[in-house]
Structure 1
């Protein structure tokens, strides 16, 4: 398998893991992943637009963004930053509201590691129960996150040229 493509592993417990290799330094990946002026360029999966975005990147700071599909109901994602260690670790809560439903919060841990002159990116979403994890998987988190990571990589490459 080509390491530059998305790998998804859903563990038997309550985690969903996304992993990629990005052709840039950890510092660049971290900055483009966390700074609002960059996030706006890649956060939406295909068929969605960013209609609202707020982020206070500091421990206990809040973030909130709303993505709107071409047809359908807005999806709000919000949470609280728990740990920020530039350029290697970002931990935050993540809750989704869609179609008037609220879903259980996940704790998301992002880890960036230097790897052969590139950055190994690993994002782990930990849910309270396996049922909560399965609800999110049924909503299409695999496809949506994969598309988001594709957009992130395209944006990253555009900033390097």
Structure 2
């Protein structure tokens, strides 16, 4: 399976993903990977209804994503993976999903989160997951749509004081 993009977006599949990312990436599958959504028939139905013409959308739990990723029957897939939160992205990568870049679209605000951009808010679990990805050499790109200029999430988190650097410039 060729993962064309792993995107973290609490909104999952919506207009920007359906019309912009899927077209630009030339994917034939959108895989919404979420244990919660996979067990919620209403959300699953709504997400499938948002699918762009000609692209199959599947809503699957995390462990099923890992099984199909390593199953040679799915080698022809050109996929966009959507997850709701950084921890789910970390679990996929820790278990063997190969990506060099993670795109962050939006992370919804609530009282346990701190805003870091106009569309991204984080909590300590998110920061820990992003820290782990950074330590693996994974670039974290903030863009709503493909034509937006890319912002480096690590740089934003550092500038906001959410990542502490030692005197050698390494995170701790």
The TM-score, its normalising length taken from structure 1, stands at: 0.30
- Give the structure with the higher percent strand: 1
- Give the structure with the higher percent helix: 2
The TM-score, its normalising length taken from structure 2, stands at: 0.29
